[in-house]
Structure 1
Amino acid sequence: MATSLTKESTGAPSGGKTFFGHPRGLATLFMTEMWERFSYYGMRALLPLYLVAPEGLGLDAGTAIAIYSVYVSTVYLLAMPGGWFGDRVWGPRKTTAIAGAIIMIGHLLLAVPVSGIFYVGLLFVAVGSGLLKSNISTMVGHLYNGPDDPRRDGGFTVFYMGINLGAFAAPLVIGTVGQNVNWHLGFALAAVGMAIGLGQFLLGTRHLSEKSSVVPKPLDPAERAATLKKSMIWLLIAVVFYAIVVGTGTYTLNWVMVPLMLVGLIVPIFVLARIKRDKELTTTEQSKVSGYIWFFVAAAVFWMIYDQGGSTLSIFADSHANTSVFGWDFPVSWFQSVNPVIIMALAPVAAMIWLALARKGKEPSTVTKFSLGLALIGISFFVFLLPLTAAGGGKVSPWWLVLIYFVQTVGELTLSPVGLSVTTKMAPAKYGSQMMGVWFLAVTAGDAVTGLLSTAGVDLNGTGVVGLEAALAVLAGGAVFMYRKKVKELMGDVH
């Protein structure tokens, strides 16, 4: 999923070498993001498999899916405070450098074969990814002379390719080493990837815009003191609470997972409610926020199912998919490379189709595209029912998994880029950056629901649950389409 947290720019230094016709700094950010995604998706491809493996942590599938869901939801939850740090404390460039170091340390901790340290490593990677996610995209925007620079959209397209190149290569390299050689060596390779990305970022930072080093709205002394005081109070409360839980012998992993999942549901609702209650918003802005809630809920349902491609589907494939094609065996983690390679192949095609339809005045509306994306993610789980039913105690063809990921990726191309675009268009002026954080919170909400279901003992690989999720998504898509006129009215001049 691409990010687009961009702000108006004063432009980067001009002249000298370019990168595919773009400012030289784009190469630095492209490589940083590619290596960060290489480390992130490589670790993510291994994570659920390591959690259930007897030689790994040996957890049951439900707990593994819950941990995976908490981890992914936390990454996107932390994107908002990550953007806040870039805006108010360190500036985008410094925040990105610190984030890269935190991610690298996190992967090194994952490489230590001790379960307690492993979970600390996950926390480090989540915090680092949240800090980096918002700020690196902001720096891409800084390379151009404002939103009307004709190179800007092309620059983000090139940057998006870096994301998918890293995501494609990671399972093939890190997944192979982790599954076939040693799990912890695979996690160590993720640390090496982030180290390369961080090193070239520090070497190439001189090519970035000077604006990337500026703290846009620094905290004044009073704000800094108040923020520090509040943070320390909440930290103290957490330390005391968990000390009591551990001291009384009642601690289990759920004491961490359940609160995080509840936060993943409560925070998005709280943020949207706070924006909606703002009396400074005009009637038009209020209407757009009301319309945006439709898109937010739809996106949460979409990501709830989509992100199970790395957990529920991966664990199913580990037990029931035939990983041999024409007599050649491959690791289960390789299935995680299917999505990025399809995105790289189909994204240009999708863009051309929308442009061709737009020229004829037949391009579907944003609401219609969203409803199609929801329907497709639901259909992907209806397809999942077929191998799930046929598997029994045997193995199913790997092409079932490829087909499921293909349908999900087409749905992603229909919904995700459109969601990014409509977020920037419908955001009230005073909440421009924060609304992009709200878009990420849709991922948090969706994954939090998955985690809560797993924690409650729901078998997400059960045919009944898969069928129910599939029906929910298709029905949600149908509801969005049925009420498209009402949503369009709320959207005002946004199409």
Structure 2
Amino acid sequence: MFVPIIRSLAVQPKPFYFIFFLEIWERFGFYGVQALLVLYMVQKLGYQDSHADFLFAAFSALVFLLPCLGGYIGDKILGTKRTILLGAIVLSLGYLILSLPKISSRHFSLPLAFIAVGVGLFKANPSSLLSKVYEETPHNLDSGFTLYYMAINMGAAISMNLTPILNRFFGWHVAFSVCCAGMILAILNFFIMRKAIFDIGSEPDQAPFRWDYFGYVLLGIVTSVIMSNFLLNHYQIVSWLLSGGTIVLLSIYLMLIAKSAPEERKGMFLFMILFSQAIVFFVLYFQMPTSLSLFALRNVRHSILGIPIQPAQFQMLNSFWVMTMSPIMAWFYQKWHKCGRDLSLPTKFSLGTLMAGLAFLFLPLGSLYNHHGVISGMWLVLSYWLQSTGELLVSALGLSLAARYVPQRFMGFTMGLWFLCVSVASIIAGKVASIASVSAKISTDPYLSLPIYNHLFTKIGLTTVSISFGMFILVPLLKRLTENDRQMIK
């Protein structure tokens, strides 16, 4: 099943490889930092679990909101390629500051602000560039984006496996320095392979360089870093802003539904329902670098099949299972299609949410077989498999929701709504993870911390499974909300 992917990788146009390797190294840097971030705050900076969870939640919210601005800068102001390069430089600065040995807890939000702004500039533009690569061969677009998604997970898997080992033997700052080195490799890749994309890009890419525009963008970057730094130090404000923004945007969306043609309303309403369900899934997804990471540190045996691993390396299982399950699920989709038994999008969302809920229910089950408050690492392997498979059913399909059910004229607004959904989920996830906040005294005793995590995971699992069952009951109704739903799904 992996052979078609390898063959597909070998026949892509040259510009694809520029984007492929650029994305690998950018994700290498980002996920290497993400794997260690909460553990660094708790173990090195001495933060309480709840403080670390809330700060990470605010950081993640900014990471998913700011690409909306970066995409606009790439499309309308500087150009896609220039914005990618600028984002890579800002990211490198963030990783460099983070790797400084004497950075204090008081100034810890500053490198996170640089990283959030850098991701904002970078994140939306490689996919925009990739879509232009296949404008003349649209039939190859799906395979190109599949491989692009694989590049993201390759970079994540490599760094999440490497940085915890480097941290174990050489310290936190060496691990963060390697993330910075990965970003520098992305910049070198940009200059070495830039001729491959010479004639590809947005309209500003083809225009002469405008120093005045560049100056405005630099001013915007400095302002964004200052504002992000402030918000990370006052993360409650992030929660208020997102709550207000969600109310405003959903109100606008409901007005758009009311003003749309009758045949469009059903699909737009279905999008809103699945959008709400996606928030539930992403709340669980953001437990990986927060509560699940701390659970792995304190209550999981640090080995898999007898092979010693570091606690943060368990997060690598997400990328591993996504890469492993992607071709398998693609094969199943083809089989079901040939048999005329395609799964509808509401069914996939409900199934993905169910699997994510079960992923958390298996952990309290594993605690029944604990040894001195510590469970086998294989329970986390199983949990990550369930949640990663659920991710393929929800997250990977989420961005296609708008294309399926929302009129093209509302596409930009709807995509912004989707990223807002992920940002809101990250804030809720921080509040959920803080339920299992463990004091410094208890954190050293697995017997005392295990019941706290069991309580959290049981509540998450039962709530999510109940929601998924409710969605399964509504699936027939949701399928009838859109005319010609069968054709759209195909």
Q: TM-score, normalised by structure 2?
A: 0.85
Verify the 8 A CA contact 1:176 1:333 in the aligned structure 2: no
Point out where structure 2 has 5 or more consecutive residues left out of the alignment: 1-7, 208-212, 439-450
Does residue 334 (structure 1) correspond to residue 313 (structure 2)? The answer is: yes
Cross-structure match for 2:183:
194
Correspondence for 1:257 among 235, 248, 254: 235
Partner of 1:170: 159
Aligned to 1:273: 251
In structure 1, the residue matched to 2:59 is: 71
Query: Are 2:357 and 2:460, in contact at CA under 8 Å, matched by a contact in 1?
Result: yes
Q: Per-residue deviation at 1:107?
A: 0.5
Q: Residues 485, 198 of structure 1: CA spacing in aligned structure 2 closer, same or farther, 3 A cutoff?
A: same
2:345 is matched by which residue type in structure 1? T
SS at match of 2:383: helix
Aligned to 1:26: 16
Report percent identity of matched pairs: 27
Q: Which residue of 2 aligns with 1:44?
A: 34
Is the Cα contact below 8 Å between 1:35 and 1:197 reproduced in 2? yes
Rounded Cα–Cα distance in structure 2 between residues aligned with 1:440 and 1:209: 30
Residue equivalent to 2:329: 350
Give the partner amino acid of 2:115.
Answer: V
- Aligned match of 2:91: 103
Cross-structure match for 2:479: 488
- CA separation in 2, counterparts of 1:19 and 1:261? 42
Amino acid at match of 2:50: G
SS at match of 1:151: helix
Mapping 1:20-419, distance limit 5 Å: 20-53=10-43, 56-112=44-100, 113-114=102-103, 115-145=105-135, 149-208=138-197, 210-215=199-204, 256-278=234-256, 281-325=260-304, 328-388=307-367, 391=370, 394-419=373-398
Cα deviations across residues 49-70 of structure 1 (Å, max 9, x unaligned)? Answer: 11111xx101122221222222
Q: Deviations over 1:160-184 (max 9, x none)?
A: 1111110110022122112331101
User: Alpha carbons of 1:310 and 1:255: their partners in 2 closer, same or farther (altered >3 Å)?
Assistant: closer
| Cα drift, residue 212 of structure 1 | 1.1
Mean Cα deviation higher: 180-189 or 83-92: 83-92
Residue 462 of structure 2 corresponds to residue 471 of structure 1:
yes
- Residues 227-275 of structure 1 show CA distances to partners (whole Å, capped at 9, x for unaligned) of 99xx89x98x979xx7xxxxxxxxxx98611111333343344323323
Compute the TM-score of the two structures, normalised by the length of structure 1. 0.84
Counterparts in 2 of 1:30 and 1:182: CA distance versus 1, 3 Å: same
Structure 1: segments with no counterpart, 5+ residues: 1-17, 219-223, 243-252
Q: 1:479 to 1:178 in 2, by over 3 A?
A: same
Q: CA deviation at 1:125?
A: 0.9
Equivalent pair of 1:42/1:190 in contact (CA under 8 Å): yes
Aligned with 1:432 (options 402, 408, 411): 411
Q: Secondary structure at the match of 2:138?
A: coil
Deviates more, 1:391-400 or 1:451-460: 451-460
C-alpha contact (below 8 Å) 2:355/2:386 kept by paired residues: yes
Which residue identity lines up with residue 161 of structure 1 in the other structure? M
Per the alignment, in what secondary structure is the counterpart of residue 287 of structure 2? helix
CA–CA distance in structure 2, aligned partners of residues 131 and 268 of structure 1 = 22
Contact 1:164 1:343 in 2 (8 A): yes
The SS at the match of 1:491 is coil
- Higher alpha-carbon deviation: 314-323 or 276-285: 276-285
Aligned equivalents of 2:38, 2:431: Cα separation in 1: 16
Deviation of 1:86 after TM superposition, in Å, equals 1.9
SS of aligned partner of 1:59 = coil
Report the Cα distance in structure 1 between the residues aligned to 2:401 and 2:232, rounded to whole angstroms: 36
d(CA) in 2 for partners of 1:296, 1:29: 29
CA offsets 1:325-361 (integer angstroms, 9 cap, x no match): 5664321121121111111111011011011101111
**Structure 1 counterpart of 2:147, which letter?**
V
Using the TM superposition, give the Cα deviation of residue 82 of structure 1 relative to its aligned residue in structure 2, in angstroms: 2.0
Q: How far does residue 462 in structure 1 lie from its aligned partner after superposition?
A: 3.7
Cα distance, 1:311 vs structure 2: 1.2
> CA shift at 1:123, angstroms?
1.1
Q: Distance in 2 between matches of 1:436 and 1:39?
A: 25
What CA deviation, in whole Å up to 9, does each residue of 1:6-64 have, x standing for no partner? xxxxxxxxxxxx962221011010001000111011101111111111xx101122221
After superposition, the CA RMSD in angstroms is 3.1
Contact preservation (8 Å) 1:276, 1:286: no
Question: Using a 3 Å threshold, how does the CA distance of structure 1 residues 297 and 143 change in structure 2: closer, same or farther?
Answer: same
- Larger helix fraction of residues: 2
One-letter amino acid of the structure 1 residue matched with residue 41 of structure 2? L
1:445 aligns with 2:421: no
Distance 1:121 1:378 in 2: 34
Task: Tell me how far apart the structure 2 counterparts of residues 238 and 144 of structure 1 sit (CA, whole Å).
Answer: 37
Secondary structure, aligned partner of 2:234: helix
* Cα distance in 2, alignment partners of residues 23 and 449 from structure 1: 41
Report if the CA contact (8 A) 1:276-1:289 is conserved.
no
**Offset, 1:193:** 0.2
CA contact (8 A) 1:261 1:452 kept: no
| Residue type of the alignment partner of 1:49 | L
Q: Take 1:284 and 1:175, find their aligned partners in 2: how far apart are those partners?
A: 52
Is this contact kept in 1: 2:291–2:433, CA < 8 A? no
For this pair of structures, how many residues does the alignment match?
A: 455
